[in-house]
Amino acid sequence: MRFESEFVVERPAEEVFADLADARRMPEWMPEFVSVEKLGDGPIGCGTEFCCKAARRPATWTFTWSEYVPGRRLAWEGDLKTPVQRRGSYTLVRNGGESTTVRVAVEPRPRGPARFIVPLLKAFVGRHVRRDAERLRRWLGGALGGAWLADAAEVFDAVAAALPVAA
């Protein structure tokens, strides 16, 4: 399973890469995280690990930059401590001048009993990736504001609609 989204921002690829590579800034565009901490010493690069703290539940998520090509590509592998693991990437394409195409890819990897909910997972994760890519586009373009509140409400509605109703 792979989900992709693509958008263009009017910023140089090097600036976009710098913003993405410093994952401590993720809560600025992903409100489901209250904080992201860099683990270990040294500069950010391939192998750098981060720990994300969730906003709505006492959960943490760790991920590592598994690919780090300045100005071009970041890839990550994450440990969600759930039956669905994820990996993903940001690929940057210079369009000339100040314009950059950003390609976002996420690959959920269900394991164990989660393999039986793949159709539900496809619908939910696909929406989630599109929503996060739109938030990221607005953040990189400097126009996010408070729009994430509506996005969060949409996600909660989608999850509630997908849950079975008790008889």
**Per-residue model confidence (pLDDT) at position 80:** 67
Tens of pLDDT, residue by residue over 6-49, are 999 999 999 999 999 999 999 998 888 899 999 999 999 999 99
Question: Domains of the chain: which residue ranges?
Answer: 3-162
Categorize the per-residue pLDDT at 96 as very low, low, confident or very high, splitting at 50, 70 and 90. Answer: confident
Pick 2 or 125 by higher pLDDT: 2
CB 6 within 8 A of CB 103: yes
Residue 81 neighbours by CB distance under 10 Å: 10
Query: Bridge-partner residues for 79, per DSSP?
Result: 62
Tens of pLDDT, residue by residue over 66-83, are 999 999 999 999 876 666
pLDDT above 90 covers a percentage of the chain that reads 46
Fold exhibited by the domain 3-162:
Alpha-D-Glucose-1,6-Bisphosphate; Chain A, domain 4 (3.30.530)
What is the average pLDDT across 95-115? 84
Positive or negative torsion for Cα 13, 67, 78, 93: positive
pTM: predicted TM-score of the whole model, two decimal places: 0.77
